Structure 1
């Protein structure tokens, strides 16, 4: 088990990709802090599943896009689980709208969740690592192929993920002297709740599959395995990069 003795905080870990990542890290030996928007039945079910692996699992809740909440969640995670070694910034939201119809409220929600939250939660994590006085740490951001690929009607989402890419690159350089690595995982079309509308439209799925050379939608476990690698010592010399998990979508995409 590559992560024995480590503890990871994973945001948005009650469902989808975040839940799969949390489970895979636990299977690799890590204790897990699930950061969820709400302490509800779904979040509690995720905690119980993690505990069945034999690892410790804890729940902290709040709005990651709110700076005070983000800092409180990090403090609560440390208080509950002890030192945190790995941060996975997974929580995200997308809102479809024509550019001329985007509201300020929706723009603020997308940018706060997808960019502001990872920024200030990572800051809280780095402060925690510095206070521990021990070098090292892993920051893994779950970005999207849309940090690179335009996505009409989702301009705020693309802006947030493009910003996450540059944040990652800057922090990889700035935090390297502390032994902290920072990388992005950029999933393509993954079968998760955020893509529920897409998956309920057979014509849209068929059109999308024509753009994916591997001929299928991705599964959350496809992303989770890469996250486990980046969290481990096997990736100790990797920082400042985006790794795509998209079945070849990025280099074969044509807007319909």
Structure 2
């Protein structure tokens, strides 16, 4: 058996035009998986990303555009999905703001994007997985599940909620051949973190909290996801795996 072969499998990866999602899409295509990519708002960005991931256009040619935090756009995304064997819930939003300045609009945006959209997308793909008696669901969590950032109270709370949801879903669907797991990155050198990490003092402070002494690359997280959705990860479900250089210790 070729444990790295995902041919005849079809994946949907949210937020997959850059960063961790892009790295995951690239690796799954290399393993023979057909991949549908996603961006919040930019069709051209999707086309360019798809070409970079798969220049031949044989395995990565479909894309879906829509804001996961807006109900009508989430409904559109759901309507575009069919026969998804692997669901990777990578996209999220985070607000860096003092706790006392949080308001309902910020809360709703984070809950809708970071939790409700995950529930809705799982509901969309789970019937096919049940019929196939095979499925892989992976959420992208955060080290903030156990070490919350003081200026991201809602984001950290939502990521903790997601890891609990993973345990619940894993129990419900394990007997049907469906695994559900959570990969929790630490500080990853992606576009989202460029501004914060460009502050040398802040970057040095963060590095002091990471035993390995360096920031993660998107590919570090992608390798764990690929493992979990392959046959090598067949017996793992309901788990959170930290990809954080030891930051959670």
Is TM-score (shorter-chain normalized) higher than 0.5?
yes
Segments of structure 1 that go 5 or more residues without pairing to the other structure are 252-256
Match of 1:28 in 2: 31
Please, which of 73, 79, 92 is the counterpart of residue 75 of structure 1? 79
1:156-194 CA-partner distances (Å, limit 9, x unpaired):
001110110110010000111221100000000000122
Q: Say which SS state the counterpart of residue 12 (structure 2) adopts.
A: strand
- Equivalences for residues 104-183 of structure 1 within 5 A: 104-130=104-130, 133-183=131-181
- Equivalences for residues 183-202 of structure 1 within 5 A: 183-202=181-200
Q: Say which SS state the counterpart of residue 94 (structure 1) adopts.
A: coil
Match of 1:4 in 2: 7
Shift of 1:41: 2.7
1:13-54 CA-partner distances (Å, limit 9, x unpaired):
011111111111111111100022123332221111122266
Deviates more, 1:145-154 or 1:184-193: 145-154
> 1:214, 1:247 within 8 Å by CA — same for their partners in 2?
yes
Please, which of 47, 68, 75 is the counterpart of residue 64 of structure 1? 68
Structure 2: distance between partners of 1:46 and 1:14: 5
> 1:93, 1:114 within 8 Å by CA — same for their partners in 2?
yes
Against the structure 1 CA distance between its residues 227 and 200, is the aligned structure 2 distance closer, same or farther, given a 3 Å change threshold? same
Structure 2: distance between partners of 1:48 and 1:77: 20
Q: Say which SS state the counterpart of residue 238 (structure 2) adopts.
A: coil
> 2:170, 2:180 within 8 Å by CA — same for their partners in 1?
yes
Deviates more, 1:63-72 or 1:227-236: 63-72
> 1:64, 1:121 within 8 Å by CA — same for their partners in 2?
no
Q: Give the aligned length.
A: 245
Asked if 1:40 corresponds to 2:38, the answer is: no
Shift of 1:67: 4.4
Shift of 1:71: 4.2
Please, which of 220, 228, 231 is the counterpart of residue 229 of structure 2? 231
Aligned residues: CA RMSD? 1.5
Match of 1:254 in 2: none
Match of 2:205 in 1: 207
> 1:30, 1:55 within 8 Å by CA — same for their partners in 2?
no
> 1:33, 1:60 within 8 Å by CA — same for their partners in 2?
yes
Structure 2: distance between partners of 1:93 and 1:245: 19
Structure 1: distance between partners of 2:197 and 2:148: 20
Segments of structure 2 that go 5 or more residues without pairing to the other structure are none
